[in-house]
Chains A and B, each alone.
Chain A
């Protein structure tokens, strides 16, 4: 995980061009169907604007965020398909105490429910707020977008990418980056000049192109450094610290106990003790001396 040398150019990657998104939410429906997720009881305007459901949840792995804005005095929509970013070096995988998350060579970050102990550290760690908890259950697990790992292993494309009529392109990371850069170059007036996911969190398997500045669309400003490196820079010191503290204190104790040990040996030499009492240690030897 700490190795930045690993090659992610062949990881399957989503290129989501939000300028082409029509907000049909076909991806949401396809995701629910493939993953057999329950429908949620929702109300219009329960979140910001027209988006529905208001948030991702244990029942909703992806959803389209709506953003109202004004252009030439007209009301316009901008869309943002929120989903797991499938980071190259995922924070969830690094913090999970039982290693339930794994970045597959194919690209998706997958979750092994059989290992999970339900500590929710992944939810704290994820910079994108993706893992969701089964709050409705007595013994909950974590749920999140699987990148349709079961489909891509069989040579299919993810459900949302298949359903999307316009905006999602799916392929190797290097191809998708090339394609994104091409679009930015060819239509500079159409795009905000940035590829969200190229460097975010050390690079992800989901790339976004937008018309508007990223923060206005609700993209979280995220560090460009891979998150596992933040904790690893401290954790890698663990064995060294253990040995230093342990060894240091042992040495210190040896010195601080030394005078006492010498005194005891002297006392032993000078006294006519029988061999049997040799294993009587410091404190007892002292009290004996006091009493003599």
Chain B
């Protein structure tokens, strides 16, 4: 049987949901091809009034905080040393790595000259938040890739790199948190330049701080969402006991965010706050649904423990975050007298394809690599004897090598 045939047979065995995801990714890829052949002007609803649309608002500005789980959990587990959450780390890293890779894809699609993306590394402009963010995204995607290499090395039994990676674990975790702090907040700095464009409900000098705080609670919520979904649909163990630690942290972060947000909006913003009823409604929705309700929910012990409530609360937070990022990057930027922007079919297909790709690759990685079966104490970090004699030989030792320690 040829390799192609093997692959086709393998795909035939997949669940229908995965096949559907593959179809969506295919459609998205086709739409991107159309975009490159015919250009941005024809295929998107972008114009000189709306130079940034769905791809920036969702694929970049929203997707980056949605991928914040890896750095948040890394810091919680390794720096704050809450070791019992360790089983959640690896799936979070995979989600983060996929998230950032797809952010890069989205960014490249949106650029007019994607073949020149490397220019950011050559022609520095430290005054540009975009420069800051693109450097950070490149650096952080590399960090996530290195962290992601651990399960890959385990799978193939590469002992030496595994030891190097473990030695790098703490520097990578700390690097991840620092780099993420920078670019999560700098995404907010993007909109500080839109002085007379972004509505006063969202424009205030603390926007970067708010973006960073909301990235933290979103990272935590994404981990809750992901762990619960994986338990429901992928037959992984119920982690709601571990998630309770996260739901305990969540209301605190939400409270700090709410306090900063209300203070910044009332004290630091210029211009009328109540002049546009539709924007006011969006602002209230974002705060009430995305911050206040989940915060009150998770102040109750019973809700923190209950798996269904964990999922609901986390989903509300994520909904609020998505709404917030769209408010800042799209709705709040629309002037009262302008036509309303809505994404074209091609734009929508690409974004749907990117979301589908995330789900698809996550499931596939979990299928073929030890993502959930990670128990740090059982991993064999020692170099087996045969590795000393024949370096070419080390491909065949067992994946998790749990027996070797004892």
Contacts and interface: CB of A to CB of B under 8 A. Distances in A.
A292 to B, nearest CB: 11
B46 A135 contact: yes
Interface size band for B: 35 or more
Interface in A3-21: none
Interface in A29-68: 55-57
B182 A257 contact: no
SS class, residues of chain B in contact with chain A: helix
Contact of B193 (A220, A231, A241): A231
Interface stretch (A136-144, A145-153, A173-181): A136-144
Nearest to A280: B382
A194 B53 CA distance: 36
Nearest to B126: A235
A115 B186 contact: no
Interface string B188-214: 111011111100000001001000000
Contacts of A141: 112-113
B127 A121 contact: no
B134 interface: yes
Contacts of B278: none
Contacts, number: 206
B10 interface: no
B130 interface: yes
A284 B123 CA distance: 47
A117 B120 contact: yes
A27 to B, nearest CB: 20
Interface stretch (B35-43, B95-103, B305-313): B35-43
A95 B128 contact: yes
B376 to A, nearest CB: 5
Interface residues of A, number: 68
A56 B49 CA distance: 11
A242 B39 contact: no
Contact of B113 (A117, A228, A238): A117
Contacts of A223: 195-196
A135 B40 contact: yes
11 contacts: A95-B129, A95-B193, A98-B119, A127-B197, A227-B195, A228-B193, A230-B193, A232-B127, A241-B178, A242-B181, A281-B381
Given A94-B125, A136-B39, A284-B377, 6 more contacts: A95-B193, A98-B123, A117-B112, A119-B112, A120-B51, A127-B196
Interface of B: 36-41, 46-49, 51-52, 75, 78-81, 110-117, 119-120, 122-132, 134, 166, 170, 173-175, 177-179, 181-182, 185-186, 188-190, 192-197, 205, 208, 333, 376-377, 381-382, 405-406
